[in-house]
Amino acid sequence: MNKGLLEVDEALERLLAGARPLRDRESVPTLQATGRVLAEAQRSGMNVPPMDNSAMDGYALRRADAAAAGARLKVAQRIPAGSVGRPLAPGTAARIFTGAPVPEGADAIVMQEHCTVEGDAVTINKVPAPGEWIRRAGSDIRAGDTILPAGVRLRPQDTGLAASIGIAALPVVRTVKLGLFFTGDELVMPGDPLPPGRIYNSNRFTLNGLARIFGCDVRDYGIVPDSLEATRETLRRAALECDMIVTSGGVSVGDADFVKPAVEAEGELLMWRIAMKPGRPLAFGRVGQAAFLGLPGNPVSSFVTFLVFVRPFLLRTQGIAEVRPRGIDARADFDWPEPDPRREFLRVKWNARGGLDLYPTQDSAVLMSTAWADGLVDNPAGHAVRAGDTVRFLGYSELYG
């Protein structure tokens, strides 16, 4: 059906087979580790919480002393969070606050709302259940537990979890140095006047933003003219400085497309025409130590091919275990009666009814569709969609994770 075209999954397999996960690691303070990729699983050397503590502001007591409602106990001590009380004498209670260690001998906490205080005595108006409002030592994390696996990008809550067991620094994978350049004599930077026949270099912004979302150290070589010499020179420079080079434009087979011959001259290249829409051409190769991925120049195509191909390749290079998006099943609130024979990535947005709306123009030159959307529907080749059908949704929130 797609003669001469390579299927998306096949291309992804081949790409991932060519990815080399970075071996170098470094230790970073836990406070700076969000967004980095954890290089080694982390185990806890301690219990969390480290001791039995109170989940409420109230009174710690021995249940035997409050077997019936209305028991009156002497308040013999006060235990704020951060301090350690004395063993609880029988017949007494301890004023206790949330997070404070439960004194030895106490077997329940009565919340203050169920107590009446008079002078130095407290009346217990409700009979406590065994262990009530006591958070047990190790009830969150037990010593020896694995708290974080290797190969995950650390989120804020992961660094908080590491900190909760006293980890001050984490082993992470070195940051990927990602080179970017943009081919095309028609390109102009925003801020400069736009002469007739020229367009703004929007891909520079999209691809820089994507590279930063994935925590890359970006080396941006800017606009490269449509010439073999300029393309080769930029490639040579980037290959010395980067782990990976991603470019936009110049991978078609027009007279002004110099990426293919330039990469072939400086390294090795595979050119693929992929059975997907948007984004047909994709170049994959190597220049020196650097992996090379050449994306189409069309802004929608370069955005989508980045998400579909560069993202998993980059994640694999970063040492991330899970590189394929799971996607979710969602209800299409649109018709797509004339599907393309190629696999399509349709720009869609959630509506208030919990279904997906389709951007009215799916033309790959319409960059508005990508900004309007919440994500992409991954629509199988030749698959017509009718309103109410279940489709596979790849949300930006998952793809950017």
**List of residues contacting ligand AMP (CB under 6 A):** 182, 184, 186-187, 199, 201-204, 248-252, 296-299
Q: Considering beta carbons, is residue 297 or 299 the nearer one to Mg ion?
A: 297
Least separation in angstroms between CB 390 and Mg ion: 39
Nearest to 251 by CA among 181, 344, 347: 181
Residue 186 interacts, among Mg ion, ligand AMP, none and using kind-specific CB cut-offs from 5 to 8 Å, with: ligand AMP
Q: Considering beta carbons, is residue 92 or 248 the nearer one to Mg ion?
A: 248
The 3-state DSSP class for residue 65 equals helix
Dihedral of CA atoms 247, 250, 251, 253 in degrees, nearest 10, equals -170
CB 27 within 8 A of CB 324: no
DSSP H or E stretch at residue 301:
helix 299-305
Cα–Cα separations (whole angstroms), residue 309 to 16, 305, 365: 9, 6, 19
Please tell me whether residue 249 binds Mg ion under the rule CB under 5 A. Answer: yes
Least separation in angstroms between CB 342 and ligand AMP: 17
Residue 187 interacts, among Mg ion, ligand AMP, none and using kind-specific CB cut-offs from 5 to 8 Å, with: ligand AMP
Residue 47 interacts, among Mg ion, ligand AMP, none and using kind-specific CB cut-offs from 5 to 8 Å, with: none
Cα gap 120→160, rounded to integer Å: 40
Which residues, at least 6 apart from 145, have a Cβ–Cβ distance to it below 8 Å?
A: 43, 44
List 103, 179, 184, 215, residue binding Mg ion (CB under 5 A):
184
CB 65 within 8 A of CB 90: yes
Tell me the residue nearest to ligand AMP as measured from the CB.
Answer: 297
Residue 294 interacts, among Mg ion, ligand AMP, none and using kind-specific CB cut-offs from 5 to 8 Å, with: none
The 3-state DSSP class for residue 238 equals helix
Please tell me whether residue 296 binds Mg ion under the rule CB under 5 A. Answer: no
Please tell me whether residue 281 binds Mg ion under the rule CB under 5 A. Answer: no
Least separation in angstroms between CB 358 and ligand AMP: 23
Contacts to Mg ion by CB under 5 A: 184, 249-250, 297
